């Protein structure tokens, strides 16, 4: 086994310094050999071009990565909005179908409760010692009109029932009861254009009574007079 002792510890440091110095000397020698300044300018230009291309490529690579990330986000948003629009169109089709069904129901059902209102209002306006003999329509009710294409037009067309003109024939033992009946019938929000047609005296059961005929029109009352009640109520 042999042990080597370095008696000059600064030798390596000097050799390193010498190697750096030799490299610098070689570079200076190369520069010194180039006598043409145009060649130096061309070399500097090539170095600048290569450096600029490297910087430009790095910037384009970063921009491309950011663009791809944004593209993925836009695709995800497009897919989400596409599903949303499909659901919205489906809901609009359901809404249009329901509006069409409601329009058909209204066109069939809008004259069902007309006579209920007429009979109720005539009965409330009837004073004491006065009775009815006949009540009926003088002009047939108009047929329901065809529903328009638009939903808003359908709702507006079906909001009011067709007009109805009717005639009331009755008897009373007091002429003042007859005039009271006219006033109370005219005061009804569901009855308009109340007109007396004839007033005569007839004999019924060997007693003179006043026979009268009154004509009027049915109209839809203002919403302030319309009351709605639930179909079923819980009783405790």
Write out pLDDT tens, residues 105-152.
Answer: 777 666 677 888 888 899 999 999 899 999 988 865 444 444 444 444
- Token couple for 219: 């109209």
How far is it, in rounded angstroms, from Cα 23 to Cα 146?
102
Picking from 114, 127, 121, 225, the residue whose alpha carbon sits closest to that of residue 165 is 114
Write out pLDDT tens, residues 168-214.
Answer: 999 999 889 999 999 999 998 888 899 999 999 888 888 899 999 99
- φ/ψ region of 207 (left if φ > 0, alpha if ψ in -120 to 50, else beta) reads beta
DSSP structure class, residue 225: G
pTM value? 0.47
In sequence order, what are the residues at sequence separation of 6 or more whose Cβ sits closer than 8 angstroms to the Cβ of residue 175? 210
Q: Are 134 and 163 in contact (CB under 8 A)?
A: no
How far is it, in rounded angstroms, from Cα 81 to Cα 75?
10
The pLDDT value recorded for residue 95 is 92
How far is it, in rounded angstroms, from Cα 166 to Cα 185?
13
| C-alpha 109: how far from chain center | 27
Residue carrying the six token digits 């993925």: 72
Write out pLDDT tens, residues 6-32.
Answer: 555 555 554 544 555 676 677 666 666
How far is it, in rounded angstroms, from Cα 117 to Cα 226?
11
| C-alpha 147: how far from chain center | 22
Write out pLDDT tens, residues 51-65.
Answer: 888 888 888 888 888
How far is it, in rounded angstroms, from Cα 166 to Cα 148?
29
């Amino acid at each position: 086994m042999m042990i080597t002792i370095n008696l000059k510890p600064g030798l390596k440091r000097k050799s390193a310094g010498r190697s750096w110095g030799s490299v610098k000397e070689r570079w200076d020698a190369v520069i010194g050999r180039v006598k043409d300044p145009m060649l130096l300018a061309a070399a500097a230009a090539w170095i600048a071009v290569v450096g600029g291309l490297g910087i430009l490529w790095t910037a384009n690579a970063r921009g491309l990565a950011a663009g791809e990330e944004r593209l993925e986000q836009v695709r995800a948003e497009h897919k989400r909005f596409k599903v949303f629009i499909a659901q919205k169109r489906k809901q609009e089709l359901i809404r249009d179908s329901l509006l069409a069904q409601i329009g058909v129901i209204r066109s069939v059902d809008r004259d069902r409760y007309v006579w209920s209102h007429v009979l109720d209002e005539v009965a409330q306006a009837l004073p004491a010692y006065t009775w009815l003999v006949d009540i009926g329509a003088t002009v047939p009710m108009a047929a329901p009109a065809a529903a328009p294409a638009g939903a808003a037009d359908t709702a507006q067309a079906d909001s009011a029932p067709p007009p109805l003109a009717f005639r009331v024939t009755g008897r009373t033992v007091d002429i003042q009861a007859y005039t009271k009946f006219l006033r109370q019938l005219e005061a009804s929000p569901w009855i308009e254009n109340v007109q007396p047609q004839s007033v005569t005296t007839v004999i019924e059961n060997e007693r003179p009574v006043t026979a009268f005929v009154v004509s009027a029109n049915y109209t839809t009352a203002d919403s302030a007079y319309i009351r709605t009640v639930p179909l079923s109520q819980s009783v405790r």
